[in-house]
Amino acid sequence: MEPRHKYSLPPFLCLSVFFFIAKAEASVKQRPFNNKVSAAFVFGDSTVDPGNNNYVETLFRSNFPPYGKDFKDQTPTGRFTNGNLSTDLVASYIGIKEYLPPYLDPTLSIEELMTGVSFASAGSGFDPLTPQISSVVSIPKQLEYFKEYKKRLQSAIGKKRMEDIINKAVFLVSAGTNDFVINYFTLPIRRKDYTVSAYQQFILQNVKRLVQDLGDEGARRIAVTGLPPMGCLPVVITLNSQNAILERGCIEKYSRVGMEYNQMLQNEVNSMRGRLAHLSAKIFYIDIFTPLVDMIQGVGKQDFDEVSHGCCGSGYLEAGFLCNPGSYVCVDASKYVFFDSIHPTEITYTKLFIANRPVVDSMIQD
């Protein structure tokens, strides 16, 4: 096991991390900007929140070290990882911008807004109860912010230009893990009213509602992300193992629920394609389950040293404010699948992007 250290890196390690990040980004930045895609808009949870929660009264924040330790200038932005999110990589690959900013940042210029923002909020989910638990921005509220965004843009550049930007943009949706891991399996409220199957259907209905609403608001290219292997999240392993230190295998029950839900979601995506056809809209499914399982199981020599605990602290439970400037942190996060007990490292996000690059290519085609 790699030694763990306080948050600080010697100069030679900073240099090696810099070259690693540069190499990873080079594998993503392959497409020059073109006029096929105008902007990127994101809705969801902490997997795609670049810092909206910095402007929300909640404990679910990450705008402090060691988060962002491999980001530009080692800046903690509110991203729950050590560097870029997958949505940053998508925006960069398409050629829109290097990083996708949070919509709630009051300093954003009209020029910055025109090329896209993220409305996502860490701790959110498709179940209306989920964001209430952590006092974060619900997905219906994120949609309201998008409508507000459109009005702001229309006032600045006119209705026709605003509509053209929306019609030529890509829309990315990533949420659901909090609904199952925190809301359904950890708390008793939803389990009193829903079987697992009924809850899966309940979440799917809310996904369908969001996609339809986005289509009604002008979205023409929408990608929906499935669930990860939830039983492989370090925090889930820790809380569901008799000996969490010695027994670090994935908890099959949770991963199976995610796998079943993903199949149902794929079926719904296929069905929604027909229902959105009258809008000339395209909808895509993004699979993160399979590539994450491959990384964890070491398929294809993925080169990870640690797959069952995170880089921050013990890696068993720490996330958010429990992963903080006083935490011990691994030297090289690229050897870890997870940065904290829940969220992937930048290299994991990079591999997930590469695995789904054909979907992104399909999205940005005419």
pLDDT of residue 301: 65
pTM score, two decimals? 0.90
Question: Does 172 reside within a domain?
Answer: yes
Domain that residue 189 falls in: 37-229+252-283+350-363
Tens-binned pLDDT, residue by residue, of the chain (366 aa):
444 443 333 333 333 334 444 444 444 554 444 568 999 999 999 999 999 999 999 999 999 999 999 999 999 999 999 999 999 999 999 999 999 999 999 999 999 999 999 999 999 999 999 999 999 999 999 999 999 999 999 999 999 999 999 999 999 999 999 999 999 999 999 999 999 999 999 999 999 999 999 999 999 999 999 999 999 999 999 999 988 788 899 999 999 999 999 999 999 999 988 777 777 889 999 999 999 999 999 876 667 999 999 999 999 999 999 999 999 999 999 999 999 999 999 999 999 999 999 999 999 986
Q: How many domains does the chain have?
A: 1
Phi–psi pair at 243, nearest 5 degrees: -130, 90
CATH (domain of 118): 3.40.50
CA pair distance 87, 228, nearest whole angstrom: 16
CA pair distance 354, 264, nearest whole angstrom: 24
- Show the 3-state SS of the chain: CCCEEECCCCHHHHHHHHHHHHHHHHHHCCCCCCCCCCCEEEEECCCCCCCHHHHCCCCCCCCCCCCCCCCHHHCCCCCCCCCCCHHHHHHHHHCCCCCCCECCCCCCCHHHHHCEEECCCCCCCCCCHHHHHHCCCCHHHHHHHHHHHHHHHHHHHCHHHHHHHHHCCEEEEECCHHHHHHHHCCCCHHHHHCCHHHHHHHHHHHHHHHHHHHHHCCCCEEEEECCCCHHHCHHHHHHCCCCCCCCCCCCHHHHHHHHHHHHHHHHHHHHHHHHCHHHCCEEEEECCHHHHHHHHHCCCCCCCCECCCCCECCCCCCCHHHCCCCCEEECCHHHECECCCCCECHHHHHHHHHHCHHHHHHHCCC
Active site residue 343: yes
Question: Does 335 reside within a domain?
Answer: no
Residue of 71, 59, 68 whose CA lies nearest to 122: 59
Question: Does 113 reside within a domain?
Answer: yes
Phi–psi pair at 276, nearest 5 degrees: -95, 0
Rg (CA), the chain: 19
Q: At what angle do helices 86-94 and 11-28 cross, to 10 degrees?
A: 60
Question: Does 342 reside within a domain?
Answer: no
pLDDT of residue 34: 52
Question: Does 68 reside within a domain?
Answer: yes
pLDDT of residue 35: 63
Type of residue found at 244: A
CA pair distance 258, 229, nearest whole angstrom: 6
Find the catalytic residue in 38, 46, 174, 255.
46
pLDDT of residue 17: 39
Find the catalytic residue in 49, 70, 179, 340.
340
Q: Are 75 and 82 in contact (CB under 8 A)?
A: no
